[in-house]
Homo-oligomer: A and B are copies of this chain.
Amino acid sequence: MARPRGGTGTNQGAVRRHNLGTLLRHVHDAGEMSRADLTYRMGLNRSTIAGLVSELESLGLLEHASPAAPRGAGRPSAGVRIRDDGPYVVAVDLGVDQVVVAAVGLGGRIGVRAATALTQPSEAWHVGASVAGLVRRVVATSPAAAPLLGIGVAVPGLVRRSDGLVRHAPNLGWRDVSFGSIVLAALDLDVPIAVGNDADLGAWAEHRLGAAVDVADVVYLSGNVGVGAGVILGGRRLEGVAGYAGEVGHLCHDPAGTTCHCGSRGCWETVVGAPAIAEALCCPAEQVPRLGVMLDELSTAPRELRPIGVELGRGLASVVNVFNPSIVVLGGYFRPLFRLLGPEVTAGLAERSLRPARDAVRLAAPGLGTDSVLLGAAEAAMGPVFDDPVASLATAVTGAPDHLAG
């Protein structure tokens, strides 16, 4: 009987590309893996795995790794790992006061890095030009032969899931900004670009690579001038209908409080945001961008910071009551704040949270240090290569174009 070749062939091709991407993601997550592990995890037979590995090697994505010392009887199976000189993405962590840009290879290896301070008010075209300048610098100093797969951008604001439009970034003063298009126009480059909310991306990176690996119910709290949360429940990102879920910085915290950038009053962010912390420390406004570094340098908390620790815990109680996570990762400047004010934070949480939800949660520092959001932006840019490595490499830019290298 004649088989419908075209149809089956196309379908087989799609399945094979999907398997290539899945195998690549396994090695990306683990850093290095034996063929035996890949065979077990993917439920495919040895010869299929060998064929997929061989194709990913010829695409320049994987390379042979010496087997680890044998733990049991028999010869250990040969391993594969991500190639150091393989394709990379450019990740952009856009803060309110500064922007960090880095080349990130598959496997999460951070290469060249560049950063600059931003001045307020930050017009989107101006910020776009700054970002483009940093991207150029990073690309120009990355290996010329390595393909650039795409760009991922983390933004402190509400990002529409369908098209990456920045609907509202209160602390930047932006509404309805196509920031991805602005950056690409400033770069004069045609490469895939993904834009996402900073806290959502930080949560995803901590879940894939950091403190919340193998944890299904995760809140990542982002302290980046403003306050937001990325939430993963049951292993799935919490997005809401348009992608705006998790805006915990704008939970009502004190109706008698001060006015918030969002236009409302007494949001949690007005009490635990960077300006409130800077004021407690009598820190001049121009030092706010260095707030995280300043807090990192403290070995004990000044008395003036203690009430902020309590308010951080009280607001976390609302977060714990509504999401019932098993871990809350405290990112951005909340990382040093939690190190300095652990007892105050825990007391505020205990005061206002429901006991069963509180008993189920632990507070933790990010496993990725200060790079959760940056690596989350990289993960977003890498999405297509894990769906279909062949198609993703076809749209990659290889060799720094003249106008980028200059």
In contact, B241 and A360 (Cβ under 8 angstroms): yes
User: Which residues from B are CB-within-8-Å of A321?
Assistant: 247-248, 250-251
Interface string of A344-365 (1 = CB under 8 A from B): 0000000110111100110000
Q: Which of A245-303 contact B (CB under 8 A)?
A: 245-248, 250-256, 262, 264-265
Partner of A158, one of B247, B265, B357: B357
CA A216 – CA B356 in complex, angstroms? 28
In contact, B360 and A252 (Cβ under 8 angstroms): no
Partner of A354, one of B250, B265, B354, B356: B250
> What's the minimum C-beta distance from A243 to chain B, rounded to whole angstroms?
7
Q: A236 contacts the other chain (Cβ, under 8 Å)?
A: yes
User: Which residues from B are CB-within-8-Å of A326?
Assistant: 241
In contact, B252 and A315 (Cβ under 8 angstroms): yes
User: Which residues from B are CB-within-8-Å of A323?
Assistant: 238, 240, 245
Q: A233 contacts the other chain (Cβ, under 8 Å)?
A: yes
Q: Closest chain B residue to A167 by CB distance?
A: B356
Q: Closest chain B residue to A256 by CB distance?
A: B256
In contact, A322 and B324 (Cβ under 8 angstroms): no
* Given A217-B241, A234-B236, A245-B233; A255-B322 close (CB under 8 Å): no
Q: A325 contacts the other chain (Cβ, under 8 Å)?
A: yes
Q: A168 contacts the other chain (Cβ, under 8 Å)?
A: yes
Q: A63 contacts the other chain (Cβ, under 8 Å)?
A: no
Copies of this protein, total = 2
The interface residues of chain A, by DSSP majority, are classed as: loop
Partner of A264, one of B264, B351, B356, B357: B351
Partner of A239, one of B250, B324, B352: B324
Partner of A248, one of B167, B253, B322, B351: B322
In contact, A355 and B168 (Cβ under 8 angstroms): yes
Q: A125 contacts the other chain (Cβ, under 8 Å)?
A: no
* Given A234-B236, A241-B324, A252-B314; A247-B352 close (CB under 8 Å): no
Interface string of A141-165 (1 = CB under 8 A from B): 0000000000000000010100000
* Given A241-B217, A241-B325; A318-B252 close (CB under 8 Å): yes
Q: Closest chain B residue to A314 by CB distance?
A: B252
> What's the minimum C-beta distance from A237 to chain B, rounded to whole angstroms?
9
In contact, B244 and A158 (Cβ under 8 angstroms): no
Partner of A253, one of B170, B252, B355: B252
Closest 3 CB pairs of A and B: A240-B324, A167-B356, A217-B241
